[in-house]
Chain A
Amino acid sequence: MEELSANFGFLEALDRRLSKLGKQAENYVHSDPEACLFKLRLMVEMMASTLARVTLGNALPPELGVTLGELERRGVLPRHEADNMHAIRRDGNSAVHGGIAPASTAMRRLKDAHSLSFWYCQSMTHSQGQERPEFQVPKRPIAEFGVDSQVAAAETLEDQIEQRRRRTREALLLFANAEDRATITKRYRDELDGLDAVAATAGELSIDAETMALIMALELEQLLEHPAFGQVSRNARREAELQLNAVKRRLDEQELTFREARERLTNENF
């Protein structure tokens, strides 16, 4: 046996079709607000049609809006209920004609329909004084792995953004995270030592290390003077000179090592 709707189950005894439409609207409120509004509009149309048949006889106006107006004018439909029915009619029409309805609108109209249904049920059964059942907010449908569908969609989007971010970062970094940076760096250092030895021995084609050091020292001085680092000009110059001298000493040591090695070689052979 089909489970009754939490909010529209009380309509079952009066009109099963209304109860069914209410349940369908509940089911769609989160996942398909437009379908929910469409079902609610059908509910209102059926209620209005029955009320009109009972009170107006067979002379039913062709338009729902006109029917509601007529029912209100004749005092069949109280103002509050008429307003709710008009609101559902308008939003339902908009949904049918391709308008985008947020879930919050559908939820509001579902609540209106619940209130309306209770009034309708009382009017049709001529029962008064019953307490209206409290509106139960329909739960969001549970997706796979117990995750709410909207939350799951948001998480998928977040994952995509994160993936994009990781790719951007990967493109920027000098070494990939998975790389053995220490081993690779050591390999380059060994190569640099070899190049250093070759350059110290054979010289460099267009620009030697000492000239390069001087050029770099001049820019280094400018950098150290930068307001963000706050060194006064004299200190910046002194620091750049110190660094230049350290580099020159290292180059001189290499030159000396090369000369000693050549002398040793010469003495051994001749």
Chain B
Amino acid sequence: MEQDIERATLWFLTARGMAAASGDIAVDSQPSAAGLFAQAVLGLSEDACIEGKSATRINRLSLIDCLSGVAALPPEIQEKFLTGALMIALLDRRMDAAEVRWASVLASAMRLSTQRVEECCLGARILTDMLHPVTRTS
């Protein structure tokens, strides 16, 4: 359970980093996307998600802590994290420099190859299609 809570903290921190980079637009269009991803793809429970993003846990960590945390994750989990972060970036069908930078520093921290990053981005696009969010202009 504790490992799941720590993973939830790390995931929501990763997602918040991307949401902040996107200027919140992506999150406003699909406010539940990060939580859905946590439960459906990362397999985290509701309890782990709630405890993981409790202020006492998540607010004591910075994005640098997040980078060192994701670097220590198993490779298959790292790829899921990057897929989720890219999904949040693509939700509004726009790409901003800050989003690109957060994605690239995450991928670098995970030491992922270009091919792996391409696969993650493809997965993110498919998930984004499934979530069917509104566009920024609509």
Contact = CB atoms under 8 A, between A and B. Distances in A.
B104 A207 contact: yes
B105 interface: yes
13 contacts: A168-B46, A172-B31, A173-B35, A189-B20, A191-B64, A206-B113, A207-B108, A207-B113, A208-B104, A211-B114, A218-B121, A219-B124, A226-B129
A217 B99 CA distance: 12
Contacts, number: 156
Contacts of A175: 16, 53
Question: Which label, helix, strand, loop or mixed, suits the secondary structure of the B interface?
Answer: helix
Interface of A: 167-176, 179, 184-185, 188-189, 191-192, 195-196, 199, 204-209, 211-213, 215-220, 222-224, 226, 228-229, 243-244, 246-247, 250-251
Contacts of B38: 171
Nearest to B51: A171
Contacts of B96: 247
Contact of A171 (B46, B59, B97, B128): B46
B49 A171 contact: yes
B98 interface: yes
A205 B20 contact: no
Interface residues of B, number: 61
Nearest to A195: B105
B72 interface: no
B63 A192 contact: yes
A199 B113 CA distance: 18
